[in-house]
Structure formats: structure tokens, C-alpha cells
Amino acid sequence: MKWILFFGALIGLSICGRKRFFGDQVFRINVRNGDEISKLSQLVNSDNLKLNVWKSPSTFGRPMDVLVPSVSLQPVKSFLKSQGLEYSVTIEDLQALLDNEDEEMQHSEGQERSSNNFNYGAYHSLEAIYREMDSIAGDFPELASRVKIGHSFENRPMYVLKFSTAEGRRRRPAIWLNAGIHSREWISQATAIWTARKIVSDYGKDPAITSILEKMDIFLLPVANPDGYVYTQTQNRLWRKTRSHNPGSPCVGADPNRNWNASFAGEGASDNPCSEVYHGPHANSEVEVKSVVDFIQEHGDFKCFIDLHSYSQLLMYPYGYTVKKAADADELDKVARCAAKALASLSGTTYQVGPTCTTVYPASGSSIDWAYDNGIKYAFTFELRDTGHYGFLLPANQIIPTAEETWLGLKTIMEHVRDNLY
Amino acid sequence: MPPSRRPPPASRPGGPRPGVLLAPLLLLALQGVAAAAPAGAGGPEDTPGLQDAELQRGLLQQAARAALHFFNFRAGSPSALRVLAAVLEGRARVNPKKECQVDLVFTTDHYNPEAGEERLGKCSARVFFRNQKPRPAINVTCTRLIEKNKRQQEDYLLYTHMKQLKTPLDIVSIPDSHGHIDPSLRPIWDLAFLGSSYVMWEKTTQFLHYYMAQISSVNQWKTNDDAVDFDYTVLLHEFSTQEIIPCRIHLVWYPGKPLKVKYHCQELQMPEEASGTEESSAVAPTELNNS
């Protein structure tokens, strides 16, 4: 009986530090009497065999589980045989089992990461996204809060998630993550809400995001065009613009990414309300755009603005409204290339990098051009997956892979901002 | 010969189609390229070298897309569709009429992601863009990606699957809003893409290119003893205008034989221009006779 206590209960095995267990096996040894226990204690206590008891029997008749390193398999087997101890091998290769488990965990970790079972691998309604934002803020009240920054043309709330570790109301340099400004680009909103959950889940665990949040705040707007998004769900899946009314025209909406005050109504936009790139009657005419502009200007200390779009797999920086090179183009280009490389490292998804105007086409009144011209140096546009096969209608099973790889790109940019605050 | 389309309306202040304004930049860059002039000669401000390279790359990609649409259409095989992998090299020349000839070499991949082996096909093409007029003239040859017999087998297999589909097809759109295509309906998508390739070839210019976004309706689906008669409406996504162009397409496909296509695209509605410039009936149906 003392022997049993002597063993102690070394239950479970720590895998911190990522030790490897190739070829190691777990033996289940039958323990029938005190005599057998004393024989086993010899075995277990021998230093050079390096056995690790997983489960020691609390009564006779219960087996003992022991982890046997591969180098010790032969001597242990010989010993057990010579002592007449019965055993069976319950785990033939511990490393293989751990690898398998890891895979499974990652898989389901990606699938459902919140307690109320919001499936991140699916597209959701506006209400569901807003509810999940609220849920994230509720799950991590010290870190995240849902903030209303305005409303849409049809009077829907515009919510951002604010991630901040700052004490009280102290204002820190900030990063703006914009998504869903073009409503039909569903992978954008989906990636954004995944990213929100990722930020709160990884804070305190991942050194990168932890250190970023120690120095800066992050504001995430997953649905920058709520009216358009609802319209794509109810009426027209391929709707792009806002749903504002244009007096005197049967056509609805303006392109919110031609409506910012950066060479407004210049090259690469249309003055025809029926056009998909109609810039609107004047800069910031779209309340959705104005809400963001007002918030950012009032805050006054944004250092980074990233706009998520689809599709084409591009990572771009200013300018769209001119071929003239931005003053910081060289630095932005380097950062973008680094980010694209990090993104590609996950699944091989390749992005082209360059200034908007020559990489895709001229576009005036765009969000990142406005941000850049207003002192927000680190301004980037992501055009997410794919390159035209499914286009806007990206299958839901690509949401998580896209979000995961994009996260690596986002982190690269945010880390650079953190290390180059101005 | 299809009737030629009327050119787009003249630029209006503040509201020209984005592609139009790219033209002068393109020309300047290309003249630099063709004459091998030193960087900066006649080019726009700052770093003409970088801009030239970017514009050149854009033009080569345009040419590759047009060539591939044409190739896919001519091959007439929904199981052997190809997609652009990478442009390897190319050269462009612009004549005084602003027409643009592009010679290029590019690699291709299987269109269908489930097609398995990752062999890259290689193509060389000459593409002649007629300023802003559609229907670029194309000469293209590609190395074989799939062995001919295998391709015919796959096509015939596809055809037998299509015959088994229950008509009338109870579909609203393919893919659905969530990007899902039922595996049993995948052959329809591939066949529709084949027909759309013809349309996308004809519509591509050096400034405009297309992707097939969605089949918005299937109007008729008939499988006779040896042919598929398919009447559908497809939504094309147009770059760089971002417009969605509905096109009604009627095709007849005999496995192993050239594709027959008729189509009619609804052009951009511009109520302001009620004087009837770019209206929906601008394009008369185009009959294709493959002899």
C-alpha cells in the first residue's frame, strides 16, 4: 500500500516546450499483488530507463500505465517477461497520436471558436455578425468593446470593435481595419469577424498581437456598408454600392470607395448614378463614409488604415488617383512584400504587390488614399481570394483558410507599425 | 461577321470610363517599349520605368486572358478548360491607329481545381487588339495538357452525367449565394463557362476583361441523343468598370465537335443617355458556323 503512495500519481504528460515522442510507447501493465508492485517499482525507479508513470493503480487489479521511451523498449520488455508481468501496448507511437490530435484540434478550433457556436466557416446575416461582435466584447470585457460610430443611409447601426489594453480612457496610437465597404465582397466581412475573434483569443498567448496591443489600439469595422450587405442577402447578391437615393435618377447608391475626399471625382470614378463606380454628389456624401471619417479625425492618432476587399489577390498601397509615386512608396512596398510573403507561407496563396493605380486601375476618392493624405502613413488595400474562378461567390469552405493566411499578412503590417511609430 | 459595336460615348468631364484614361498612359509606355527608348522618354512623371513595367505587365495579362478564352472556346471541351497560370514573356507594339499587337508566352493550369495532376500547359499567342473595338484577333497554340483520348473520354463522361440530370432543372442560380455548386451540377457550370468563353473573348479589349460570376438562370436544358442544347443567362463581371453584365447565351454542344454559340448581352443602362447610344439591343445575336 505504501508502494502505491510511493509512486505518486503522475497523471498526464506535459507537452510544453514541444518535446517529441517518436516511437515512444505506452504500456498497460497488470498489477495483481504487492509482489508485482515492488517489482515494478524497481523498474520505474531505475534512472537510465527514464520511465514515466502515467497512471498508478489505486487498488490491486487495476493496471498501471507507463510511458516507455523508444530506447528503453527492449530492456523493459525483457524485464517484464522475466518477471512474469502481464502487459499490453496501448499506444504504439505517442508522437503519431499527438500529431493527429493537434490536427483535429486545429480543425475544430478553426470551425467554432465561440461558446455560442458561431460558425466562422460560414457566411452570416448582419444581425448574426452584430450579435457575435457583442458576444466577443462580452467574453473579453477588459480587452474588447463594441462601439457605435454612426448609422447607415437606411438607419442601421455602424458598429466597430475596439481592442484596447489602455487604462481608463487614455488614447493610444491606433490601427483601423476596414471591411465590407463593397457589400458583395463577402469574404471581407467574414474575414473581419474571424479576425476579431482571433485577436481576443490570441492576446496574452501570441507574443506578436500581445505586444501590438500593449502599444496600440485596434479598431475593426467588419461591415462598413450595412445596407448594401443586407441587400446582397435579400435582393441582389452582386450589389456593390450603398443604398442611398439619387434625386432624379432611378439608380440607387454610390460607390463608397470613390466617395472619400482624395481627388474626389477624379480619374477612375463616374458621375453617373447608374455606374458601379459612381462617386456620389460630393465627398463624404455617403453617411457610411462620413461616419468613419469623423471618427478617425476626432480620434486624431491613427497610424495605420487597412481596407479589405475581394477579389484578385492583391496587396496595394497609395495612390489610386494618380501614377505619381507616394512619398513613402518604397517603405510601403517593402512592408507589403513582407506581408504578402507571410500570407503565402501558409497555403501558397500568391498576392501581387504594388500601388493601386498601376496594379489594378486608376481610382479616385478611395479610402486608403484619403487615409494616406491625412497623415495615416501605413495605408493598404487587400484584395482577398480568389483570382476569378469563384470571384465574389467564394465558397464558404475557403473562409477560414483565407482568414488564417490574411491574419499573417495583417500581423506583419501591424508589427511594422508598432516598431515604427511616428 | 458580327456587326461592329458603336464605340463608347466620348469622355465627359469627371465621368469617363476608367479604362479610357489608361489609354494615353499605355500608349506612352508602349511607345517607349517598342522603340526601346531610354526610360523617361515621353513618359509620365517620376518613375516611368516602374510604370512602364506595370502597364506592360497589365497588357500582357489582358492578352493572355483573351487568348485563353479563345483557346477554350475553340477546344470546345468542358473537361479540358484552362486558366492562366503566369505570363512568361511578351512584347507589345502599337500602330498609328492605336491598335495593339501583343506576342506572348504564358503557362496554364486546369480550370477545374479537382482535376488532379498539376501539369502546366504552355501557350504562345499573338493577340491583336483593335483599339477599343471588341473581338481581338487571336492566334494561339498550346501544348497538350490532357491527352486527346483521355479528354474525349472525360467529355463523354460529362455528357452522360448531363443526360442523367432531371429536367426541368430546379435551379435558381449557380453557384448559390454562398459559393456552393452541387457536385451534380458542376458539369453545367463547366459547360456554361465554355459558352461564356466565347462571349468573354469577343468582349475583351486591351482595357476591359471579364470573369464569369454566376449563372443566374437556366432557361432551357435539353439533352438529345448526342447533343446538349443549353439556353442560360450568365452574369459577367467586367473590369475595370466593376459592372455586372447579364448575357443570355444559347449553345449547342456535341462532345468532340466544335461549339455553336449565340448570345446577347444587356449593356449598361444609362438612363441619362436616353438618346440611345449604348442600349440593350445594340448587339444582335451572333451565329457561329464552325466549318
Write out the DSSP string of A207-251: HHHHHHHHH-EEEEES-S-HHHHHHHHHT-TT--S---B-TT-S-
In this complex, the residue of A251, A277, A325 whose CB is nearest that of residue B242 is A277
Whether A393 contacts chain B with CB within 8 A? yes
Find the distance separating the first CA and the last CA of chain A, reported in whole Å. Answer: 69
Question: Is A383 in the active site?
Answer: yes
Cis upstream peptide for B240 (omega within 30°): yes
As to burial, measured by CB atoms within 10 angstroms (0-12 exposed, 13-18 middle, 19+ buried), residue A107 is: exposed
pLDDT of residue B119: 73
- Rounded to 10 degrees, the C-alpha dihedral A310/A311/A315/A319 comes to -80
Strand A352-355 and strand A314-317: the pairing is: parallel
Residue with cell 483573351: B66
Whether the pLDDT of residue A90 is over 90: the answer is no
> Residue A335: CB partners within 8 Å, gap ≥ 6?
A378, A380, A412, A413, A416
The residue of B234, B242, B244, B245 whose CB has the most chain A CBs within 10 angstroms, and thus the best one to mutate to test that interface, is B242
Question: What cell does A279 get?
Answer: 462617386
For A:105-124, CB contacts with B below 8 A are: 122-123
- What are the backbone angles phi and psi of residue B62, rounded to the nearest 5°? -55, -50
pLDDT of residue B3: 36
Q: How far is A407 from chain B (nearest CA, A)?
A: 22
Whole-angstrom Cα distance, residue A262 to residue A377? 15
Q: How far is A269 from chain B (nearest CA, A)?
A: 6
Find the distance separating the first CA and the last CA of chain B, reported in whole Å. Answer: 14
Strand A302-310 and strand A157-163: the pairing is: unpaired
Query: A25-92: which CATH topology?
Result: Alpha-Beta Plaits (3.30.70)
Cis upstream peptide for B271 (omega within 30°): no
Whole-angstrom Cα distance, residue A75 to residue A247? 89
**Helical ranges in A308-395 per DSSP H:** 329-347, 356-359, 367-373
The one catalytic residue in A286, A383, A404, A415 is: A383
Where are the CATH 3.40.630.10 domain residues in chain A? 122-419
Give the single-character DSSP code of A252: B
Question: Quick check: A324 and B45 CB within 8 A?
Answer: yes
Q: What is the pTM of this model?
A: 0.76
Q: Please give the ipTM for the structure prediction.
A: 0.78
In this complex, the residue of B15, B111, B235 whose CB is nearest that of residue A238 is B235
CA B262 from chain center: how many Å? 15
- The helix/strand/coil state of B114 is helix
Domains belonging to chain B, first-starting first, are 52-265 (3.10.450.10)
Where are the CATH 3.30.70.340 domain residues in chain A? 25-92
Contact A315, A321 (CB under 8 A): no
For A154-193, what is each residue's pLDDT tens digit? 999 999 999 999 987 788 999 999 999 999 999 999 999 9
Question: Quick check: B241 and A354 CB within 8 A?
Answer: no
Rg of the Cα trace of chain A? Answer: 28
Query: A122-419: which CATH topology?
Result: Aminopeptidase (3.40.630)
Please report, in tens digits, the pLDDT of each residue of chain B (291 residues total): 333 333 333 333 333 344 444 444 444 444 433 333 333 333 333 444 556 777 788 899 999 999 999 999 999 999 999 999 999 999 999 899 989 999 999 999 999 876 666 677 999 999 999 988 889 999 999 998 788 888 999 999 999 988 888 777 777 799 999 999 999 899 999 999 999 999 999 999 989 999 999 999 999 899 887 899 999 999 999 999 999 999 999 999 999 889 999 999 998 655 433 333 322 222 333 333 332
For A299-315, what is each residue's pLDDT tens digit? 999 999 999 999 999 99
Question: Quick check: B14 and A265 CB within 8 A?
Answer: yes
